[in-house]
Amino acid sequence: MIVDQNTKIYGVVGYPLGHSLSPTMHNSAFEASDLNAVYLAFETKDLAGGMQGVRGLGVSGMSVTIPYKSAVIPYLDQVDDLARMIGAVNTIVNDAGQLIGYNTDAAGALKALEDKAQLSGKACILVGAGGAARAIGYILKQKAVTLKVANRSRERGEELADFLNCQYIALDDLEAVTADIVIQATSVGMSPDKDACVIPEHILKQGMLVMDVIYNPIETKLLKMAKDRGCLTISGLSMFIQQGAEQFRLWTGMDPPFSTMAQAVKQLLMKSDQT
């Protein structure tokens, strides 16, 4: 790869970034598409300074991650309708100096789900009430999915249920729930706490569609249990790669090299699992 005066700069802003998979995923995509572009990790506690840098230095595009997906909105010139409704931006396009915000988490989750099943008319229990749950709940609502929201903190759970115009249930009441689709959208089960799971095993029934937003490990405890009980499963990795593919499309206007991106991320996750 040659870096010169024409190289376009992209990156991810967040704090902490930990072992972000985005640089590996997007650099593999740029290389496979023969683009003179590079993607970097910008870990900062100074969002205002970071956004001034994006503007002042003409950074071509950014991913935005925890904890800045909502906080970044005031620094943008435009926010597309979906991101505005969800209240979170995970992608910025620098269009000739205008910073435009998008949310590709919602589209990524939808693509991952629609690749496995037809959604309209299905009953879904959405576990979690953070940014990921909000994006997924909002897009599923547009697809005529009947939702229930379960969350640890009642206040946040009820707030999301109000937003989605659906019922809130406490995590303890999951025991009695039946659904066609179960979506795990909390941070529980993420490495190194791989044995944690907020969803009771016995509610998982043959033929159910079960998605976990966690992508490290690729197969979470929930997905292992769901497979064993005859459910159809979707890893958070599918959602992650789909949201990244949508970012690539927004930044470049080109079709993303999907299998290259998936391969690069899987290799990185397998390597980090061995260390």
Footprint of ligand NAP on this chain (CB under 6 A)? 66, 105, 108, 128-133, 151-153, 156, 186-188, 190, 198, 213-215, 236, 239-240, 243
CB of 95 to ligand NAP, least distance (A): 24
CB of 43 to ligand NAP, least distance (A): 15
**Closest among 270, 271, 269, 257 to 28, alpha carbons compared:** 257
Residue number, 155 or 228, with CB nearest to ligand NAP: 155
Element containing residue 158 per DSSP (H, E): helix 154-164
Residue number, 69 or 122, with CB nearest to ligand NAP: 69
CB of 175 to ligand NAP, least distance (A): 15
Catalytic hit among 45, 69, 141, 143: 69
**Nearest residue by C-beta to ligand NAP?**
130
CB of 155 to ligand NAP, least distance (A): 8
Task: Spell out where the chain has E strands.
Answer: 8-14, 37-43, 61-64, 78-79, 91-95, 98-102, 123-127, 146-151, 167-170, 181-184, 209-212, 232-234
Residue number, 84 or 206, with CB nearest to ligand NAP: 84
- Scored b (16 or more CB within 10 A) or e, 105-139 reads bbbbbbbbbeeeeebeebebbbbbbbbbbbbbbbb
Q: Are 221 and 236 in contact (CB under 8 A)?
A: no
Residue number, 34 or 195, with CB nearest to ligand NAP: 195
Q: Is 69 a catalytic residue?
A: yes
Could you list the active site residues? 69
